[in-house]
Amino acid sequence: MKPEFGRNPQLNRNGELHHLLSIEGLPRAIVERILATADGFINVAEREVKNVPLLRGRSVFNLFFENSTRTRTTFEIAARRLSADVFNLDITRSSTAKGESLLDTIDNLTAMQADMFVVRHAAGGAPYLIARHVAPHVHVINAGDGRHAHPTQGLLDMYTIRHYKRDFSRLTVAIVGDILHSRVARSDIHALTTLGVPEVRAVGPLTLLPEGLESMGVRVFTRLDEGIRGADVIIMLRLQNERMRGALLPSAQEYFRNYGLTPERLQLAKPDAIVMHPGPMNRGVEIDSRVADGAQSVILPQVTFGIAVRMAVLSIAASSQRIQ
């Protein structure tokens, strides 16, 4: 393996977080620092003036090659609350196909004094390509690449669990749904194992489970009842429309019968178990509305936490010293 593709490109030579590309390979101390820093930003959101001057004068460019209003909006809010200048570029794949390559786009934007790129792309690995290419002072934050990673979602999910459960070292966490195609699932798995969660479970039909889960430290279940029995945390994943017909799954109805989280099934988990979902939810497909809106659901707080966590990520990345 070539040396520079083996070294974790997220950390600078001092071991500080320079880019956030994936939770895999992040030292536990950095993950914990991000969560602790997010605590500071939660309180900022509760004030009259919801800004702090940390990133004043910095330019943050949201580069979304894949559509997503919610993630882009939360990043925009996070960057603005840090007093950064925010620019949104919705580059659909067709306009890139018109000629300008991904790296040409990056070069043009860097020439416009971009300090940070928040990137979402349909191809796994795209943020790594960008991170290798940008000038040393520019930071790249992965807002989701293909099926590979969605690190800020993983971090905000951990923040949520920490908020309600405090101690990671005794938890059983079940992730339910289309793990195969889910970057959220992969990031959650890496975050949970990094933080020392002893039992991480993946639950889904065989057609939606990737290879190698055991080697990532995960116990695999194909039955929801067994998978969530005794769980402290249940993370429900969104089932995408295109999976619901065809060879992976026959229908949304059959999926809900077998893997939908209903109030009855929720009783199999611990009585104080929390239910999470990265959103947007498909009510009646992966989750029953009574659960989504019920007392154990923390789905709305996840959104608030998401802004604080993203503020923490942007500040910490922006604060790394330049590589000598």
For residue 203, the cross-strand partners are 176, 221
To other proteins, the closest distance from the beta carbon of 187 in angstroms equals 10
Of positions 23, 24, 269, 278, contacts other proteins by CB under 8 A: 24
To other proteins, the closest distance from the beta carbon of 22 in angstroms equals 8
3-state secondary structure of 177: coil
Contact 177, 211 (CB under 8 A): no
Residues 31-60 touching other proteins, rule: CB under 8 A, are 33, 36-37, 39-40, 42-44, 47-49, 51-54
Q: Which two tokens stand for residue 149?
A: 């990673």
To other proteins, the closest distance from the beta carbon of 46 in angstroms equals 9
Q: How far apart are CA 116 and CA 123, in angstroms?
A: 20
Q: Which two tokens stand for residue 229?
A: 């029995």
Looking at 126-134, 152-160, 197-205, 235-243, which segment touches other proteins (CB under 8 A)? 126-134
Residues 84-123 touching other proteins, rule: CB under 8 A, are 101-103, 121, 123
Looking at 204-212, 274-282, 283-291, 294-302, which segment touches other proteins (CB under 8 A)? 204-212
To other proteins, the closest distance from the beta carbon of 302 in angstroms equals 19
79 makes contact with other proteins (CB under 8 A): no
Radius of gyration of the chain (CA): 19
For residue 202, the cross-strand partners are 175, 220
Helices marked H in 7-118 — which ranges? 28-45, 69-81, 93-97, 102-110
Strands (E), the chain: 59-64, 85-90, 116-121, 139-145, 172-176, 199-203, 218-221, 233-236, 274-276
Q: How far apart are CA 23 and CA 11, in angstroms?
A: 12
Residues 228-267 touching other proteins, rule: CB under 8 A, are none
158 makes contact with other proteins (CB under 8 A): no
Contact 189, 200 (CB under 8 A): yes
Within its chain, how far is the Cα of 266 from the centroid? Answer: 24
16 makes contact with other proteins (CB under 8 A): yes
Looking at 16-24, 161-169, 228-236, 279-287, which segment touches other proteins (CB under 8 A)? 16-24
To other proteins, the closest distance from the beta carbon of 103 in angstroms equals 6
Contacts to other proteins by CB under 8 A = 1-3, 5-6, 8-9, 16, 21, 24, 33, 36-37, 39-40, 42-44, 47-49, 51-54, 101-103, 121, 123-126, 128-129, 133, 145-149, 181, 183, 186, 210-213, 215-216, 315-316, 318-321
